[in-house]
Amino acid sequence: MVALGEDESCPYEECMPDIFEVTVDDLKHLVSERAISGETMLLNMGPQHPSTHGVLRLLLELDGETVVNCIPDIGFLHTGVEKNMEAKTYQKAEVMTDRLDYLNTVGNNLAYSMAVEKLVGLDVPARAQGLRVILVELQRIASHLIWLGTAALDVAAMSTFLYCFREREDILDIFELVSGQRMMTTYIRPGGVWRDVPVEFEKAVRDFVKMMPKRVDQYEALLTRNPLFLDRTLGIGKISGEDALNLGMTGPGLRASGVNWDLRKARPYSGYEQYDFEVPTRTEGDVYARYLVRVQEMRESLRIIEQALNKLPMGPVRSNNRKYVPPPRSEIGVSMEALIHHFKLWTEGFNAPKGYIYSAVESPRGELGVYLESDGGPKPYRIHWRTPSFDNLQSLPLMAKGHLIADLVAIIGSIDIVLGDVDR
Amino acid sequence: MGLEQKLGEMGVVTTTLEQAVAWSRNYAMWPMLFGLACCAIEMMAAEASDYDMSRFGMELMRPSPRQSDLMIVAGRVSRKMATVLRRLYDQMPEPKWVIAMGDCASCGGVFNNYAIMQGVDEVVPVDVYVAGCPPRPEALIHGILTLQDKVVKKIKFAEKS
């Protein structure tokens, strides 16, 4: 086999004529006159860089080692998820949602399912709502663990990474227990959840909730008062609450700047109003404050999980509305009507009423919203994701200005962007 | 290329040396620290505590392509990323290997659309494909063992023919 590129007569450019690359020259209109005259230096960071958390490319304008300007170039992971979802029926489009923000797969499922439920007017049983909350909060902890591991790795704390991934495996084991998949669960479905949890679920979650607070203490012992970590984070990447709001920032980044805005409190969904939890806020607005907020959020999530598990009622986990929700497998063998519903739902899908809705949840990164428009057919006419990483990334140039290039790495880590979420 | 060419005329010593080189390459293969999408998280999990890829000599992820032997394409490759990916591959020194991790890198996966390359083998030659969306860390480790097998067997095959 002759591999591409080895054969000199067929360079890869000819094989793929429709791809293009943005060069520094194409972005020159975005930088100042000083950069063009050569007074400051233009430097390209990414898309392959260990601390851009994916395939982010930054065009940096540097004065010595100080960042004068920083221009994000996104789109290296553009997937066309929204367009693909428009070509699928409402149930089948859900598998695409997992792959948007791959650190918050269950949360994406929840946002999408809530939007479909709102569009067609579906009720969700109380047990399903409780299960949703437990899984979404577990996912929030898993996401923060990856953030903590990688952001600490960026400022050279290697061991935190290994500890965080150890605990993340416990959460993924719970996901695997309920859905059979580690990451892309598609467990939360419109009208409820896929099926009831196995009997081992409760013990697994209780063990985790019991074990985890000590582990969070361990992370804090490694970092919170570590002078090296403080030097790299205190006073770095400051943003005021007003600026953060103006730039559309949400999530822990906004709360670290003193704005107490959490959709779970402000616009409760899926039964969050029943649970007693605090929304951690800080006023400093720097990298260290964002770290503290996220660590505290892990503790609050554990509280929510424990309460939700204690309150979890028995009962059905899926809506009984057969026009929108497939019947359970056991009914198909005995009921002709169930068989017809199953067949109709998986071949044609259901027709949603004409109209549009917006529904949002609090993801680990901020407000994750779904705008869903229906033309009365079985497929979404238009679906748009309001993804938190995209809006949070806009604040990077403001935060990075005037800091050293080494601090930029800590700042990117502290925003907690997921490029699948930015580029969609 | 590498060592083989320089030692090409040395008869029976060469073959044993080649095997020794292949063996040492196997267990000191440095992957590039290069993640694209969801699979990159599972690749990190494979590197981290529970799965510990350093058992197979793979713990040293190099952020620079100039220092790496193996490219694990972990995730979907968009058209915008394809040129970058190819450039990274060209920058890697010989001998080099590529693992297409996951369905998206292997064949486009669930994304059959305008934005995503339908398999990374359109841009770079792939040695091992790992199935799964995303593959479990065990699956990636299996892919890596398959690749190590391939590196040794290629030498043995060349000896026979």
How does pLDDT run across B34-55, given as a tens digit for each residue?
888 888 889 888 888 888 888 8
Give contacts of B62 with chain A, Cβ < 8 Å. none
pLDDT of the residue at A33: 75
Classify residue A1: in a domain, yes or no.
no
State whether A365 and A312 are in the same domain. Answer: yes
Q: How do strand B97-101 and strand B70-74 relate by DSSP bridges?
A: parallel
Please tell me the predicted confidence (pLDDT) of residue B8: 60
Q: Is residue A386 in some structural domain?
A: yes
The range of the structural domain enclosing residue A48 comes to: 24-73
Alpha helices in A180-319 (DSSP H): 200-223, 227-233, 241-246, 252-255, 263-266, 287-311
Cα distance from A406 to chain B (closest Cα, Å)? 16
What is the average pLDDT value for chain B, to the nearest integer? Answer: 83
Residues A268 and A414 both lie in one domain: yes
pLDDT at residue A38 in the model: 76
Does one domain contain both A93 and A61? no
Residues A67 and A182 in one domain: no
A417: left (phi over 0), alpha (psi -120 to 50) or beta: beta
A53, A159: one domain: no
**CA distance, residue A20 to nearest chain B CA (Å):** 7
Last residue of a domain, one of A54, A73, A92: A73
**Closest chain A residue to the Cα of B82, Cα to Cα:** A19
Query: Dihedral of the CA atoms A386, A389, A392, A397 (nearest 10)?
Result: -130
State whether A274 and A302 are in the same domain: yes
- Cβ-nearest to B136 among A4, A149, A182: A182
Residue B63 has pLDDT above 80, yes or no: yes
Indicate the residue of B48, B122, B133 with minimum beta-carbon distance to A184. Answer: B133
Q: How many CB pairs under 8 A join A and B?
A: 130
SS (H, E, C) chain B: CCHHHHCCCCCHHHHHHHHHHHHHHHCCCCEECCECCHHHHHHHHHHCCCCCHHHHCCCCCECCHHHCCEEEEECCCEHHHHHHHHHHHHHCCCCCEEEEEHHHHHHCCCCCCCCECCCHHHCCCCCEEECCCCCCHHHHHHHHHHHHHHHHHHHHHHHHC
Could you give the C-alpha distances from B9 to A273, B14, B24, in angstroms and in order? 78, 8, 21
Whether residues B84 and A76 touch (CB distance < 8 A) is answered with yes
Give the pLDDT of residue B158.
56
Between chains, do B37 and A102 touch, taking CB under 8 Å as contact? yes
The CA distance from A75 to A388, in Å, is: 16
pLDDT, tens digit only, all 424 positions of chain A: 334 444 444 444 554 545 556 666 776 777 777 777 778 888 888 788 877 777 888 888 888 889 988 888 888 888 889 988 999 999 889 988 988 888 999 999 999 999 999 999 898 999 999 999 999 999 999 999 999 998 888 888 888 989 999 999 999 999 999 998 888 888 999 988 988 899 999 999 999 999 999 999 999 998 898 898 898 888 888 899 899 999 989 999 999 999 999 999 888 988 899 999 999 999 988 999 999 999 999 999 999 999 999 999 998 898 888 888 888 888 888 989 989 999 988 888 888 899 999 999 999 999 999 999 999 889 999 999 999 999 999 999 999 888 998 889 899 989 888 888 888 8
Of the candidates B38, B48, B136, the beta carbon closest to that of A99 is on B38
Q: Name chain A contacts of B41, Cβ cutoff 8 Å.
A: 102-103, 146, 183
Q: How many CB atoms lie within 10 A of CB A378?
A: 17
Predicted local distance difference test score (pLDDT) of residue B161: 52
DSSP per residue, A29-91: GGS-HHHHHTSSEEEEE-SS-TTSSSS-EEEEEEETTEEEEEEEE--TT---HHHHHHTS-TT
A125 domain residue, yes or no:
yes
Last residue of a domain, one of A45, A73, A101: A73
- Please check the confidence at residue B4 and state whether its pLDDT lies above 70: no
A277 with A159, same domain: the answer is yes
Residue A28 lies in a domain: yes
Residues A210 and A61 in one domain: no
Find residues 94-123 of chain B whose CB sits inside 8 Å of chain A.
Answer: 110-116, 121-123
Residues A125 and A212 in one domain: yes
Task: Return the half-sphere exposure (C-beta side, CA atoms, 13 A cut-off) of residue A74.
Answer: 19
pLDDT band at B3 (very low <50, low <70, confident <90, very high): low
- pLDDT (0 to 100) of residue A5: 42
Give the Cα separation of A127 and A385 in Å (integer).
Answer: 27
- Is A9 within the bounds of a domain? no
pLDDT above 60 for B95: yes
In a domain, A14, yes or no: no
CATH of residue A205's domain is 1.10.645.10
Q: Are residues A91 and A233 in the same domain?
A: yes
In a domain, A2, yes or no: no
**Measured between alpha carbons, how far is A21 from B99 in angstroms, rounded to an integer?**
24
Which phi and psi angles does A116 have, rounded to 5°? -65, -40
Instruction: Name the domain boundary from A42, A73, A104.
Output: A73
Contact assignment for B44 to A50 by CB distance below 8 Å: no
Judge if A129 and A57 occupy the same domain: no
Nearest by CB to A162, from B49, B75, B90: name it.
Answer: B49
Number of structural domains found in chain A: 2
Alpha carbons A101 and A364: distance in angstroms, whole number:
10
Handedness of CA B74, B76, B80, B86 (dihedral sign): positive
Same domain? A209 vs A146: yes
User: Which own/partner pairs from A368-375 qualify as long-range (CB within 8 Å, at least 24 positions apart)?
Assistant: A368/A101, A368/A104, A368/A107, A368/A108, A368/A111, A369/A111, A370/A111, A370/A112, A370/A114, A370/A115, A372/A115, A372/A116, A372/A119, A374/A119
Q: Which of A261-270, B9-18, B73-82 has the lowest mean pLDDT?
A: B9-18
Q: What is the pLDDT of residue B2?
A: 65
Q: Please judge whether A80 and B44 are an interchain contact, meaning their C-beta atoms are less than 8 angstroms apart.
A: no
Instruction: Show residues of chain B in contact with A147, CB under 8 Å.
Output: none
